[in-house]
Structure 1
């Protein structure tokens, strides 16, 4: 008989690969129950055909899944790694935003065939290939996603797919204050009915510990700063492969070039070199808990519009308590010393200085 998740966890603790954490360990029996249930189910079946092929419509009762939520750095992704790696069944682990992008693309293709309900063949294609879906960072920021997730997951659950997901938010806070949120509320009901909701409450914030005592503002920007930023990025992401995060905001795409497990990384020009506004930066701030910005230049009248966007971006990150790591041409007080807007930048410089404090992101 294979090792239980608790046995695997304890072995890694004994080997010095993990730090023992009572809150993490307490969740392992729940994940083990899901694992055993999923492994005992029959393999997913589908009839031949492409995207619009017909799949078996037999209703299968899925194993109840798990919705694991809690603050950044509590070990949610580590637990997901442990769980998903141990499950011996058709499975897929994917960032929730990436999954929804794929679904939207498949819906677009399905609609070309004038299918009556495009969500059905898309959902059944997913259900025909996996028994378990593991999502990293479930969150809803796009109204297009908000309008389809209820129907999509209803079909997935009817076809016997089990879902395990992590999130920084309790289900009732998903798509909070979103447009037409009342149409999204049934999805919350589906989640709480089909998934056990558990908060991971740990006294240890492992991501914050990685930043403890670490420099988070590097100047001057250059080779040494880039090397230091890369080192912090590797530590924060666990050396895992990152992907692009594409946020759809009012039918426009805003791209964070590198994103993994709540940590984003982009250059100054990625974020401030295009026509973005306060609403865009609020969505960016909502989507992550740590943001790394490379190569902030000296600001002046020659890049006034970019400077204004940078001020707005820092305000959004500050209000959302997003941990900021950056490289810049100079210290905050000397980034913008002359020209229109330099006086107003004093507040931004003060915030940049304050955001370097270890305790800042955890202040109320």
Structure 2
């Protein structure tokens, strides 16, 4: 008679709080490419809505820009550099949520060539300046033909002034610029206000920018605020335990850890991670803490990493809909918070679908 082998215990999940990534400057620069979410997109995969001709017009114009930038570069003296700077395209994609601005921006980067393009969100580029210093960042980005800036933020005066200066330095060196931004949630469908704000904030450069208006409906038919699917703590632990590439953390411990990691390293914090479990979810009341959480959600979304969430049991516990306070959702950073809620909702939906599959 033989005795069956005992079932091996499932490996305890990893924890983000146990990670302390060290990121060299070369990696920060190498990661300035279109996110995984848009890695395979191109002009050919963008499908303009016939009801909104501006989508086709923007597509056609960006094809022209890509063609102009894809040719060989020339080197020369000061006269040639001034001529190149004057001719470098600068375009701003203006429109509401879900009309394909990021798709088109990533397509432009792919068409010009990722080796000749630096692509990052506004937040990623401000963090790059913080990590490398302003002069080193300018020198590194000036080596490219095109710099793409997604989600240009207009809510932080200091960062906006710094980014305006960065754009001026780059355009003076002949680097082409392409940028996007979103309207605030209460102004959906009124992208012209975002364009006016953008041009006002970069007034020294406004004459160089060509605004490409992109009208249309949100193709994802996504609510501005998405309720993140939440599970029981038991279900969250069950789905992450024994799953390769999964992590499990308590929200308070994770938020405390994020304060010790420079936001430019949040991407590295997720290296090799395919699923993130978070328990004890509750409303975040401190703005600096909330903004760090927003950056983490952005990096999770860029990498298509699903999350599984379990609400806490004490005061302030939430299903995700009330993750940020009403004052935050009405304040100057509200666009960031609405974006994070929407993205977290999408990632939590993917994570909840994993429950019961094992």
TM-score where L is the length of structure 1: 0.52
Matched, 1:123 2:149: no
Assess if the C-alpha contact under 8 Å between 1:45 and 1:56 holds in 2.
yes
- Matches of 1:135 and 1:75, distance apart in 2: 15
> Alpha-carbon deviations, 1:19-45, whole Å to 9, x = none?
442343221121122112222462579
Q: Over aligned residues, Cα RMSD in angstroms?
A: 5.0
3-state secondary structure, aligned to 1:295: strand
Find the aligned partners of 2:174 and 2:282 in 1 and give their Cα distance: 41
Q: Give CA-to-partner distance per residue, 1:212-248, whole Å, 9 cap, x none.
A: xx99534435547997xxxxxxxxxxxxxxxxxxxx9
- From the superposition, tell whether residues 327 and 157 of structure 1 become closer, same or farther in structure 2 (CA, over 3 Å): closer
Show structure 1 runs of 5+ residues with no match.
1-7, 13-17, 47-54, 108-118, 175-184, 228-247, 260-264, 329-364
Among 194, 197, 205, which residue is 1:173 paired with? Answer: 197
Q: Which residue among 212, 217, 232 is the counterpart of 2:229?
A: 217
Partner of 2:59: 28
Tell me the distance in 1 between the aligned counterparts of 2:264 and 2:234.
23
**1: CA distance, partners of 2:265 / 2:279:** 11
Q: Aligned residue for 2:176?
A: 162
Unaligned runs of 5+ in 2: 1-41, 184-193, 240-257, 270-275, 350-358
Kindly tell me: are residues 305 and 151 of structure 1, through their superposed partners in 2, closer, same or farther at Cα, counting changes over 3 Å? same
CA distance in 2, matches of 1:215, 1:281: 17
Which of 121, 124, 128 is the matching residue for 1:102? 128
How far apart are residue 160 of structure 1 and its match?
A: 0.1
Q: Distance in 1 between matches of 2:165 and 2:93?
A: 22
Q: State the secondary structure of the residue aligned to 2:215.
A: coil
CA–CA distance in structure 2, aligned partners of residues 226 and 82 of structure 1: 39
Query: Which residue of the partner structure matches residue 104 of structure 2?
Result: 79
| Structure with more contact order per residue of length (Cα contacts < 8 Å, sep ≥ 6) | 2
SS in structure 2 of the partner of residue 202 of structure 1: coil
**Corresponding residue number in structure 1 for 2:213:** 199
8 Å Cα contact 1:95/1:135 also seen in 2: yes
What residue is the counterpart of 1:315 in the other structure? 326
| Counterpart position of 1:277 | 286
**What SS does the corresponding residue of 2:202 show, helix, strand or coil?**
helix
Question: 1:3 maps to what in 2?
Answer: none
Give the deviation of 1:196 after TM superposition: 1.0
Q: What is the CA-CA distance between 1:159 and the residue it aligns to?
A: 0.4
Matched-pair contact (CA < 8 Å) for 2:283–2:322: no
Listed one character per residue, the Cα deviations across residues 172-196 of structure 1 (whole Å, up to 9, x for unaligned) are 435xxxxxxxxxx875214432221
Aligned residues: 250
Asked if the contact 1:132/1:162 (under 8 Å) is kept, the reply is yes
Give the drift of 1:81: 2.5
Q: Which structure shows the bigger proportion of residues in strand conformation?
A: 1
Contact 1:65 1:196 in 2 (8 A): yes
Distance verdict in 2 for CA 1:156–1:33, change over 3 Å = same
Q: CA deviation at 1:63?
A: 2.1
TM-score (norm 2): 0.52
For residue 253 of structure 1, report the CA deviation from its aligned partner: 6.8
Q: Distance in 2 between matches of 1:281 and 1:73?
A: 24
Q: Distance in 1 between matches of 2:291 and 2:128?
A: 24
3-state DSSP class of the match of 1:71? coil
> How far apart are residue 163 of structure 1 and its match?
0.5
| CA contact 1:296–1:327 (8 Å) conserved in 2 | no
In the alignment, which residue of structure 2 is the partner of 1:134? 148
CA distance in 1, matches of 2:215, 2:168: 29
DSSP-derived class of the 1:164 partner? strand
- In structure 2, do the counterparts of structure 1 residues 313 and 200 end up closer, same or farther at CA, with 3 Å as the change threshold? same
